A and B are shown apart, each in its own frame.
Chain A
Amino acid sequence: MKLKLVTFFAVIALLFTACGESTTAVESGTYQGTVKKINVEKTEIYVTTADDKTLELYFTDQTSLTRNGETVEFSELIEGQKVEVEVEKVGKRLNPVSVSILE
């Protein structure tokens, strides 16, 4: 029982070495994908593209967020939504120029 407890913690520790989110700096362009994660405080979203790359996008004052062509609030975004994002690559940073909610 107690040996199992120790083993449990050891396995937990090892599991954490395998987790963590990796992101990709793609070229400038327009990509379609799914909203994987949203961080409201940081106005940040993670988008998974069709080829399984994760884009980390921090909204700027210049980022437009629309649905059916109309500007919407950041709170309209929900995880699992299909989106189209236009990004500008600056160094290895991706600046979201526009984000369109597709559904």
Chain B
Amino acid sequence: MEQLPDFWRTEVYHPLFAHFPIALLLMGTFFKIFALWGKGKFLASPGTILLATGTIGGWITIYTGNLADGIVARTLCDPTVLKDHENAGYIMVWLFTGALLIDLLYLLDLVTLKKRLDNFLVVLILVTGSVYLAYVGHLGATLVYQQAAGVHIPSENCAEFN
């Protein structure tokens, strides 16, 4: 009789971690956009905190994704989607990392570029990163819902649940 696999499989950690940076980075981007205008300036520092935690989470997600890759890629019918997901994931995390570094350099007063120009540059990179984030998420969802990546497919009679 088929056994129900353990839930805490290596390939499961990736989707478990992935949703935290998605939320943190998107919220961080929104905060930084609103901080461009006078009334939203108070959101600048919380935005930096969200970006920092989201970026760290993003790198953890890259790590767990690499762990999952070696297991999942052997079962997919179209691993090229996984490769696109991986490539876009790296680009996305590097974009957010770059934006965070510029933001931190400014906060630490290491950059004296005009404040508004600096903020605009950060927001520009963050918006680009968010577009990549949406694309990476779309590819990840495609892998799960079209190719059952990392998914246990129950037997027809559900015997493993008895």
Contact residues of A with B, CB < 8 Å? 2-3, 5-6, 9-10, 12-13, 16-17, 19-25, 39, 41-44, 56, 58, 60, 90-93
Contact = CB atoms under 8 A, between A and B. Distances in A.
Nearest to B96: A13
B79 interface: yes
Given A13-B94, A13-B98, A42-B69, 4 more contacts: A2-B111, A20-B88, A58-B73, A90-B77
B98 A12 contact: yes
Nearest to A17: B91
Contacts of B90: 16, 20
Interface of B: 69-70, 73-74, 76-80, 83, 87-88, 90-91, 94-95, 98-99, 101-102, 105, 110-113, 118, 121, 125, 128
B98 A93 contact: no
Contacts of A19: 87, 91
A6 B105 CA distance: 9
B113 to A, nearest CB: 6
A43 B70 CA distance: 8
11 contacts: A2-B111, A5-B105, A6-B102, A6-B118, A12-B94, A13-B98, A20-B88, A20-B90, A22-B83, A43-B70, A56-B79
B95 to A, nearest CB: 5
B91 A6 contact: no
Contacts of B95: 13, 16-17
